[in-house]
Structures are given as structure tokens and as C-alpha cells.
Amino acid sequence: MKKLAFLLTCFIISVSSAQEPKHKIVSYTSNPKKVKETLNHESVQLQTDQIFNKLIKIRRDFHEHPELAGHEIRTKKIIAQYLLDLGLEVDTNIYGHGVTGILKGGKKGKTIAWRSDMDALPNDFADDVAFKSKNKGIQHGCGHDIHMAVGLGIAEVLAKNKAALNGTVYFIFQPEEETFIGAKAMINEGLFSKTKPDEIYGLHVSALPAGQIMVKPNEMFAYQKRVRIQLKNELTKEEAKALTKKIHSFLSRNTTSSKPWEIQQMVDPKTGLMNSNTIFKDYLFMDENFSIQSKNDILFLQAYIYETDSSRLKDILPKIKQAIEDSGYKNQLLSISFTQDNPTVINDEKLTNLASKTLEKIYGKDVVISDYGQVPYFNDDFAYFQQKIPGVYFFLGGSNMEKGIIAMNHSPNFQFDEESIRTGVKCFSSLILERLNKK
């Protein structure tokens, strides 16, 4: 999950008051037709438990040996070997250090893809765990080590059930997510030409309580844009600053007293994503402090913008123009443009609703939390896969206040409750099994 232009230096979070997750499987034994189904998912849970310690070990190994985008050499080797040992058809030549594994089931059917990203961050925070990074200045501070452990776990559980699988599972281990390069490059290099999945799924760890899965149809994040304004270099420093303030207030849209830029509120039961009155819906905000630079005769004003509503994106540049003209700088204005324009994660509505229902049916209604907001600052190049294949991207909670763990991605004290690896493997192995069983 790529994060832009925002560094959390002090992070206070109210995870403890959020809803406690439940893990139990709902029993169907009263309905004889569903006994077989119950057995399937009970064995998924059992098999997940059997490999859990092995997954923790591999996650910690990834954590100790993080590699930056474009350098996932060791990581690739480990993943490829793991998938080969499971008997999957492995390809390491699609793009960069990406790895794919094809698991063909005993019966014909659909193809479902699962994606895990692989790269770490250029961080040097004090990581308070026994399995600290051995690569100076590089850390798994976004949790992609967890994503890989979950992906490998799903591959192992489903490989054990190969004979009963109706179709094919396509595992995609994607490099270079943080730079927003890997997904697009894998697609351009033929990721879907030989094997075209019918559906694609993936997850990102988040600051929600451990054991919770959160999802919503359509946009999971706000649209991020970087805007660049060029003016004749005729304004004083003070005038330039005053102009950025004017643009900022002219553009902002948020309900009274809500502060959607306070990312730590995303897990607050009253204001966070899980509340239908969340502060993280219907907003536009931008960096309060623009980057102000001058070069020769040109003054550059730059800032990031976060907008939840795709239909309002077209209004942003004309509004900025108006704010500049209203401030009396019509003659100084040279150009306004977006310098960064990535697609955003958009969950297929039908598949999202089906996935939530499926998981709730198997693991109880508390396992999936509805998401009512759109997270600012973050985005994921999983969006490129969704442009080709209908898919769903989930958040997997990893915070646990009792253990003093806050899983806020990219923050200096990012940690993760490894129990959630179990949740991820069992839930998404079950989901893939169910999706393959549906015509």
C-alpha cells in the first residue's frame, strides 16, 4: 500500500474500544445438505492451524530480510521454492522479481487469482521485535511480509485440497508495489495472457483490530492527485503563502468539525470507517502546506489533493484557477496541472457483496466489518489488476491493544499481531474454495 506525502510521527489510536473479533466457524450440522460444506471449511481451519507456526517462521524471516522495490531477489527465491515444493506450476520470468504459481484443481472450473505484494520500505525506525531487519535502512513497515505469509498459507491449504478444487488458483506474488510499478509491469509483460483469471482477490493489513476483515464495494481509498501550479515569479514569499492558503480553503470540502486528514481516527468506533456516519466519506482536502519553490522566472506551488468523489475530480483544476484569479493573480498564472494521476482501488460491487456474505456464512457475522469510508493518503497498485479483472481488495486488521500492538502502516511503531495470519489464511482459503464451487 503506497503512502504519499504524510508521515505519522505521533500515533495515538483507540483500537481498544473497537469491536472484538470472533473466530468461530458457524455450524451447519442441523442442515444435512450443508454437512459437506462444513467439513470443507473445518478442514481448512484445521489445516491452517497445522501450518500456522511455519507461516510465522517464514513471516519473521521475510521481516528480518526486507528488500526494497525492484530488489526482491532473496524474497523471490524463497517464494518460488515454497510454491514448487507445493507442486505448483511456477513462473519467475514475467516481470522483475515477481513470482506466479498455478494450482490446477482436480476438476475443471473457473480461475481465481490471489495477489500478495513483496517489497519493503526505506525506513530506519526502532522496530521493537526480536526479529528486526538485518538490512540497514530497509523495513517491512507496510506489512507485505504478512501478505506473503498469508499468500503462501492459502497456497498450501488449497494445494492440500487440490483433488477437490473445481478450477484453477493463480497466485501472484508482485514486486514493486510501493513504487506503483509492479502490477502494471506484470500485466504489460503478459501476466494475464496465458492465464486469465475470472476474479482476483488480495488484502492489505491495517490498523483495525486483529482478526477483523473490512471491505466495501467501489473505492476503498480517496483519489490522490498531485497538483502543480506555475506562476510568473512575481509574488513575494508572503504573497505566495497567502495564495496557497486561499486555494486550500476555497477547495476543501468536509462536514463541520470533521477532520478526515486525521488518519488515526480511521479505527475510532464513532468517527472511523466502520461507522456509517464516518468522517472519511464525502470530502476533499489538500496539503495545508504547499511546496513553494521558484526556479528562474517561474514560481511552482505543489500539493497533494484527496477527493472521495470521482465525479468531482474534473472540477478541481477550474476551481484552483478561480481561486487564483479571485486573488488578483490572473496575469501571473501560467499553468495548472496534475502531475500524478494513478488509478485507485475499486472493488467490484457484486463480488464484494458475495465475498462478505460467504465469509459471514462460514465464519460468523462478526468476521467482516462494513467499511463506510475512503482512506486518504494510501493507495495500492492492485487497482491495475482490477482494471482488467473484477476483484476485491480487503483490509485485514492487525492491531491488538492488550499486546501493545498498533498496525498502522508506514508509522514508526508499526507492528502486527501475527494471529491475524491465521484469520487471513483460513478466511481467504475458504472464500477461494467457495468461489470455485460457484458456477
Residues in contact with Zn ion by the rule CB under 5 A? 1, 142
Q: Which is nearer to Zn ion, 118 or 142 (CB)?
A: 142
**Nearest distance from C-beta of residue 117 to Zn ion, angstroms:** 6
Q: Treating both helix axes as pointing N-terminal to C-terminal, what angle do 316-326 and 237-251 enclose, rounded to 10 degrees?
A: 130
Q: Which is nearer to Zn ion, 304 or 329 (CB)?
A: 304
**Nearest distance from C-beta of residue 380 to Zn ion, angstroms:** 7
- Distance, in Å, from the CA atom of 206 to the CA atom of 104, rounded to the nearest integer, reads 31
Helix (H) or strand (E) holding 319: helix 316-326
**Nearest distance from C-beta of residue 426 to Zn ion, angstroms:** 22
**Nearest distance from C-beta of residue 298 to Zn ion, angstroms:** 35
Q: Which grid coordinates are listed for 27?
A: 455450524
Q: Which is nearer to Zn ion, 103 or 207 (CB)?
A: 207
**Nearest distance from C-beta of residue 339 to Zn ion, angstroms:** 22
Q: Which is nearer to Zn ion, 304 or 363 (CB)?
A: 304
Q: Which is nearer to Zn ion, 147 or 435 (CB)?
A: 147
**Nearest distance from C-beta of residue 204 to Zn ion, angstroms:** 6
Q: Which is nearer to Zn ion, 205 or 240 (CB)?
A: 205
Q: Which is nearer to Zn ion, 283 or 395 (CB)?
A: 395
**Nearest distance from C-beta of residue 2 to Zn ion, angstroms:** 7
- Distance, in Å, from the CA atom of 374 to the CA atom of 393, rounded to the nearest integer, reads 13
**Nearest distance from C-beta of residue 264 to Zn ion, angstroms:** 18
**Nearest distance from C-beta of residue 171 to Zn ion, angstroms:** 18
What separation in angstroms does the CA of 336 have from each of 81, 279, 297? 50, 29, 16
Q: Which residue is nearest to Zn ion (CB)?
A: 1
Q: Which is nearer to Zn ion, 343 or 364 (CB)?
A: 343
SS3 letters across 254-273: CCCCCCCCCHHHHHCCCCCC
Q: Which is nearer to Zn ion, 86 or 142 (CB)?
A: 142
